[in-house]
Each structure stands twice: as structure tokens, then as C-alpha cells.
Structure 1
């Protein structure tokens, strides 16, 4: 069975003493194959857990679905490892008959790689065309003190990080700072997809009036996922990329970076931040 964590024997070295042997706990990382009906769609590396949320969120990020009724069912397909144990590493999504199947060939609409060679303008235009929700009408403000407190609130809920120190987190918050959903994964994009998938399956899309706080940097990919889910504000504890800032500006998303302690930087649409 797929494991969220794994125990390993290690040798710990230190400058002020002899080496010691101990047991350490690592975050699990295993492949997940996503199928659309009987068709193979993609494989992603993820931390096992909340796999149905991950698949649902990934399909939102791909522009395939935007409402829960478009996914008829999600189920694990049979698969065994070398020891003959069920792996739970293949999920089949059955889509409603009227939902067009995406292209499963080489030309996919996932703009995630910094080295993919896609023109920035073309990438932004493609994301804007595939989105079903708009942020321009969601102009509700968030208090600066609330926004600045979200990294600490996110960190307080990171139970898997406490055990392994090796995962990213994404948290969905209301404008008053209430935590609505938190997911962790070895991949920051997977953590966001798990949050979006939870929201889709609960019937909460579009995510108007919310803030998506992430534990790492703000990449183009994460802004893309926020846009396709209808999230008006994305905040990160580290830096955004230039293309992420461009996409946020053109799609109406408030983009925040370096949110640490008493300061934060806003790179697009600062009108949603209410400061004294």
C-alpha cells in the first residue's frame, strides 16, 4: 500500500561529536497514474494521500472540468507491488459523457516547466482562454494583518512537515483568516491541486473571497492553478517568477511574495490589501 511516510536507518554526523545511527522518517513519494476512463492521461509524482482530491484538482488545472458533476466517479484501479500488495497508485476518473476529453498526445496544455521553451505571451494567452472563472469582479479587501499572519497559520497546520521536514503545503483561507483546507505534498503543485480538488468535490468553485497561501515560491504554474480555480489572491513565503507576476497582472490575481513576519511584497493588484 502507498505510504505517506517511510522509515530509514541513517548515520547522523556532527562537528562536535562522533557519528551516530538513528532512524529517520521521510515523506513518501510514489508515482500516481491518472486515467480518464480507460485512457492513460498522465503520471505525476506525489505524496500518497488525498489522491482523489489531487486528481480532481489536476483536472481543474488542466481546464478539463470546473464543477463536481463533470466527474462521475473516482476509483483506484487494481495494481500490486513486488510483494503482491495493493499499490493504490492508479486512479481512474470517469467523466460525464458531454465533457470533452483532453488531448492525451504530446501537445498538452500544461505550462509548468521553466525550460519548456513556450513564449511567455503565448502561455498567458492560453491560460486565459482556458479559464472558466474571472477574478476581476472579486474586489473584496483583506486586512494586511490577516494576510501577514497566514504563513504562521499554515505552518501550524503542517503535521506531515513536522514528521518529515520534507513537504510543501498549500492552505486555503477566508478573508478573515479562517483555514478552510490544508494539504501537504512533496510537490508544491500537488499540494495546490489537492486543495483545488477538495474545493471542486465540495462544490465550492469558483473560490471567490479566498486566499491561497503556499509554503514556497510563487511560480507561473501556481498562478495558473489559482486562476483556473477562481482564486483572487495567491500569497507565498518566497519569491514569484517574472512570468508568474505577468500572469497575475493580466488575469486579475493579487500576487504576494516574501510574506514573512511584518512585511510582504505585492506584485499585482494591491487594491485587495487593506492597510492602515
Structure 2
């Protein structure tokens, strides 16, 4: 069984309570989504998440969320519920329930297109950004670094954020910091470590084996004699879905820290 779902994503529980109250009072859910939702990918399509079913990762989610499934799957069409996930607070409105079967392409075209855009845009953007940076030898303006981070081309300081989840809790921010240190600041002494960190965060935090492999491939090409490349060789088996299936609960515990990988690779 599966249930169609529409959501309005909010930052705080108070905002979710407010939207939920408005929806239960009869406010148009599509209008609420357009006015309040912070999910840019779905707010223009009424907050559509597609069909929610057991074991399937909802559109826009990085990984399976058991709490979300347990709250949404029992809903009947038109019912509302408030759910917290790693993304924030969701006010979810249930759509039609289905027991299975295939729908016409015309009915699911928008859902498929949205899913593909979400899956591919980040990779395409980052690949193209790297090409443009290389072509024009682009760098980060010192003024911008000073104004927004207080650090002027100080790769060592920025690396502290890459290495520390306490300093920079957001995974995507740590990955972008690593990219900027290795590419924008052209900090060759940190570049191999940055690429390893990107690979490590992609698989342990995002559960993304493909992006992990891409970072390791670049590490192999650009720094074949680096000790971090040797550490990458130890991480690489985890990128093969035939040998290893990413599991949200166990993966962070199953893998050593980057420093432990490095120590094993060089011992």
C-alpha cells in the first residue's frame, strides 16, 4: 500500500503548528505551501512528494526516515499530520491511497521530472562549476572571504570547519568548504585531504556511494602519490553497491574516521 503526500516544510515547530491549524481550519493547502514552505523544489507543485510507501525514500529526502513513514502511511486521503525529520518540520496532507498498479505517464510526469532534477542537478552543477573554475583560473575574492567568514584566504582555518562537525554541523557546508579549499584557494597541501573528506562525508552522512566514488576517482587522478590516496583505496570498497549496501543506522559506526583511515593506510 502507498499514499500520496503533499507537504509544507517549515523551520520550526511553532511554524508547523500555525500552518497545521490553518489547514485544519479549511485554508487551501496549496496556498499554504506557496506562502510558507521552505522546500523550493516542491512549493511550485503544491508540495507534492509523490507516493509514500514502506522502504522507499521520499522525493527530496537524502535517506529513509522511519518516523516519517510511520506517521504518513496510515493517513487516509485529506488527513493532516505534523512530522519532524532532519529536513525540518513537515505538515503533511495525504492524497489518494493505492494498493499498487501502474499509473499513466501523464499522471506522474511532473513527479518523475522533479525527482530527476533533484537527483542530478547537484552533480551537474558541481561538475560544471569545477570546469569553469579551471578554465578561468577563478578564485575567491579576498573581500568576500573577509566579509562573510572573517578569514582571508586562510586554508588552515577553513580546514578546521571541514574536519569538525561541531564547528560546522551542516554536511553540505563542510563539503563545500572542502571544495573551496582545494579549488578556489588552490591549497595544494590540503587538496588530497579535502577530496578524501568529500568522499567520506558523501558516504557516511549523505549515503551517496556515487558521489563518494567520484571524489575518490578525482583523488586518484590528481594526487596518485598522496597518503590520502592510499586512505581512499581503503574507503573505495564501500562505493560498490554490490559489495556493500548503505545503511543509515550502521554506516557511521562501521567506518573509521578519516584520520584512522590515514593511519591504517600508512602503517
Common fold, TM-score beyond 0.5? no
Question: 1 or 2, which has the higher strand percentage?
Answer: 1
Structure with greater proportional helix content: 2
Larger-Rg structure = 2
1 or 2 for the larger relative contact order (CA 8 Å, sep ≥6)? 1
